[in-house]
A and B are shown apart, each in its own frame.
Chain A
Amino acid sequence: MRVIRETPATTEPEPRLRWRVAQRRVVCSGDWSVARLAAVERQIRRNVPRTSGEWRINLDEISTLDTAGAVMVQWLCRRLRAAGATVRLEDVSAERNAVLKLAASELGTAPPRPRSNPLEQLGRKITSGCLGITEYLAFIGRLTADSLPRMLRPHRLRWHEIAVELERAGVMAIPIIGLLAFLIGIVMAYQSGDILQTYGANVFLVDLLGVIILREMGPLMTSVIVAGRTGASYTAQIGTMQLTEEIDALRTMGITPFEMLVLPKFLALLIALPLLTVWADAMGLLGGMLVSSLLYGLSFEVFLQRLPTVVPPNMLWVGIAKAPVFAALIASIGCYQGFRVRHSADEVGRYTTISVVQGIFWVIVADAVFSILLFSWLGL
């Protein structure tokens, strides 16, 4: 019985090749099993002499010959033949012969997968990039077509799934979003308070924090966190279900995955993100207030009294109104990327990354559009 490979205590000798050039013989010896063949392979590659005539290969001293070893013996034969010799294996046992034959007849190579040239790849990238948008739109279309009938009859919505998603995307995100909003409130108050103080304009800290947090930072930061948390999980879940054919199983039952998987996620996020935004607004203001009162002499009372007078309520509404739009972007992109998974676990990782990056990207683009539209047209 063989002793464990790769452990130093092995009793079998190293695999070796000895060239008896004068006798035109190659003597192979030792353990020709797969884990130890690298040295032999190097010798075969480097040391085959330019020669002609008949060479004999002796395998008697080989203690173990597995299929990889047999492949190496055949390589040796092939090299010698390529160098101009004819080769004969010296009396080999029947068992070994069977293995050697197996290795010898192996020459039918697979046709390589056609490789595309760089130009073609570029073309494919561009077309798939363009088609990606139409595919996404098609996805939205199908989602709408499947969801509308349900939406019109709310009692047929999957309220249970919606509640589950609401808990995962909303309730469970409360601590992290609260904490981060609080910290950002602190940082912003601290950084801008310093500057305002030099002008003795401490009290404007309220204006500054109110506008920035309620209008921009609240919704934007919440969306970014939700895109990383929830958008990614949507993609990973749907992608894995694609791989395990669970999506197909749903289809065969006459249940469309859109209605079963996407719609609850979509609706849940549509509800959760505005609420989380309000939460983030509150925690951000709290952080700002804390710094204002501790460092810049603005008590809570002063802060809270001034806030409604300098920040019009529609500033708050603008912030909250953006949230459902961001939610729609994050949920649809997350689910869409999940459905793009087809074959492999790699793709789950890849599309999850894409989902997060695109989610954040489009949220920021939408935010910019909002700012311009609202500010320049409606004067908000």
Chain B
Amino acid sequence: MAAPAIRIRNLVTRLGDRTVHNELNLDIRAGCLTAIAGSSGSGKTVLLRTMALLLPPVAGTIELFGQTTTTLSHSAERGMRGRMGVMFQRGALFTGMTVMDNVAFPLLEHTALPRSAVYEIARLKLRLAGLAPEAATLYPSELSGGMTKRAALARSLALDPELLFLDEPTAGLDPVGATAFDELIVHLRDLLGLTVILVTHDPVSLWEIADEIAFIGEGRVLASGTARTLARSAEPAVRGYFGGTRMQRARASWDQE
């Protein structure tokens, strides 16, 4: 296998006086769908924000595409940001723009393409994310929860990122919508060759679409591997998480298939 897309070594992050991660190590393989699991408040979102260059680490290194992020020049960092897309937990769509303008905005900022081309690309992204064309002219406050997620996904895909960070994309979706969203993510990964980092609690996502799961706890990666290996992990916290009834039900249905 080629060099990992992301390599994290001895990462320490601190927010206020709370140490969220302590000596965390993690490799994320390119082209894979890596899920980050862990109980609420274990620091998944913080880890995602750190990888997405939104939060500088207190100590340790993060390498994205083989480059250490802490020593990047300004322009290199801008280039790096153009190669990743982030979908935030609450969508974070710009409330003053329509959905279409939300998706077009990063394109207008980062490329010299004329508006007609940008909007054509934006329409494609909206359709990729599974949004109806009618939704394009709506404002974020006029969207349902599921549409907000899709619009946020479309925007994170705007610049054709190689790295896609998704923070609990299926939380709050109906089961049908959640399954469709999972399928969409896998489809996009295959179609566009994305490296996807997915923070999720959804047992079905963990069992069915994750190539690899990193389980965060006590400020580090307690275990990593497929759902099957994690369910047999020696760590009690990990076994407890994967041995819960909801997890087991998801596993049972997965085993049947």
Residues of A that sit less than 8 Å from B by CB: 1-2, 4-7, 33-35, 37-38, 41, 45, 66-68, 71-72, 75, 95, 98-99, 102-103, 106, 108-113, 243, 342-347
Interface size class of B (residues with CB under 8 A): 35 or more
- Are A111 and B134 neighbours in the complex by a CB distance under 8 Å? yes
**Mind listing 9 A-B residue pairs with CB under 8 Å?**
A2-B65, A7-B76, A34-B111, A34-B159, A67-B121, A67-B125, A102-B124, A343-B95, A345-B96
B130, chain A: closest CB distance, angstroms? 12
- Are A41 and B114 neighbours in the complex by a CB distance under 8 Å? yes
Assuming the contacts A4-B65, A34-B160, A75-B120, asked whether A67 and B111 have C-beta atoms less than 8 A apart, the reply is no
Residue from B3, B83, B100, B117 within 8 A of A4 (CB atoms): B83
- Are B137 and A112 neighbours in the complex by a CB distance under 8 Å? yes
Chain B residue contacts of A345, Cβ below 8 A: 94-96
Assuming the contacts A1-B2, A66-B192, A344-B96, asked whether A106 and B123 have C-beta atoms less than 8 A apart, the reply is yes
- Are A1 and B65 neighbours in the complex by a CB distance under 8 Å? yes
- Are A110 and B134 neighbours in the complex by a CB distance under 8 Å? yes
Chain A residue contacts of B30, Cβ below 8 A: 1
With A and B bound together, what is the CA distance between A121 and B76 in angstroms? 46
Residues of B that sit less than 8 Å from A by CB: 2-3, 30, 65-67, 75-76, 78-80, 82-83, 94-96, 98, 100, 107, 110-114, 117, 120-121, 123-125, 127-128, 133-134, 136-137, 139-142, 157, 159-160, 162, 191-192
State the main secondary structure of chain B at its contact with A: helix
Assuming the contacts A5-B82, A110-B133, A343-B140, asked whether A41 and B117 have C-beta atoms less than 8 A apart, the reply is yes
With A and B bound together, what is the CA distance between A75 and B123 in angstroms? 14
Chain A residue at minimal CB-CB distance from B127: A106
B249, chain A: closest CB distance, angstroms? 32
Assuming the contacts A6-B82, A75-B117, asked whether A106 and B124 have C-beta atoms less than 8 A apart, the reply is yes
- Are A111 and B162 neighbours in the complex by a CB distance under 8 Å? no
- Are B137 and A35 neighbours in the complex by a CB distance under 8 Å? no
Most buried by B among A68, A72, A102, A343: A68
Chain A residue at minimal CB-CB distance from B66: A1
6 A-B pairs with the lowest CB-CB distances in the bound complex, closest first = A344-B95, A38-B112, A346-B96, A66-B160, A343-B141, A4-B79
Chain A residue contacts of B141, Cβ below 8 A: 342-344
Chain B residue contacts of A71, Cβ below 8 A: 117, 120-121, 124
- Are B191 and A102 neighbours in the complex by a CB distance under 8 Å? yes
Given contacts A41-B114, A67-B125, A102-B128, 7 further A-B contacts (CB under 8 A): A5-B82, A37-B113, A67-B160, A95-B191, A102-B124, A345-B94, A345-B95
- Are B83 and A108 neighbours in the complex by a CB distance under 8 Å? no
Residue from B78, B100, B117 within 8 A of A72 (CB atoms): B117
Chain A residue contacts of B117, Cβ below 8 A: 37, 41, 71-72, 75
Residue from B94, B137, B139, B160 within 8 A of A110 (CB atoms): B137
- Are A41 and B133 neighbours in the complex by a CB distance under 8 Å? no
With A and B bound together, what is the CA distance between A75 and B107 in angstroms? 17
- Are B79 and A33 neighbours in the complex by a CB distance under 8 Å? no
Chain A residue at minimal CB-CB distance from B114: A41
With A and B bound together, what is the CA distance between A67 and B191 in angstroms? 10
Most buried by A among B120, B128, B159, B191: B120
Chain A residue at minimal CB-CB distance from B106: A34
A364, chain B: closest CB distance, angstroms? 31
A72, chain B: closest CB distance, angstroms? 7
With A and B bound together, what is the CA distance between A5 and B191 in angstroms? 21
Chain A residue contacts of B128, Cβ below 8 A: 67, 102
Assuming the contacts A71-B117, A346-B95, asked whether A6 and B78 have C-beta atoms less than 8 A apart, the reply is yes
Chain B residue at minimal CB-CB distance from A344: B95
Chain A residue contacts of B120, Cβ below 8 A: 71, 75, 106
- Are A38 and B111 neighbours in the complex by a CB distance under 8 Å? yes
Residue from B76, B95, B113, B125 within 8 A of A41 (CB atoms): B113
Assuming the contacts A2-B162, A67-B160, A108-B133, asked whether A35 and B121 have C-beta atoms less than 8 A apart, the reply is no
- Are A35 and B96 neighbours in the complex by a CB distance under 8 Å? no
Chain B residue contacts of A75, Cβ below 8 A: 117, 120
Most buried by B among A7, A37, A106: A106
B85, chain A: closest CB distance, angstroms? 12
Chain A residue at minimal CB-CB distance from B126: A110
With A and B bound together, what is the CA distance between A343 and B98 in angstroms? 11
Chain A residue contacts of B79, Cβ below 8 A: 4-7
- Are A68 and B78 neighbours in the complex by a CB distance under 8 Å? no
With A and B bound together, what is the CA distance between A290 and B180 in angstroms? 77
Chain A residue contacts of B113, Cβ below 8 A: 34, 37-38, 41, 68
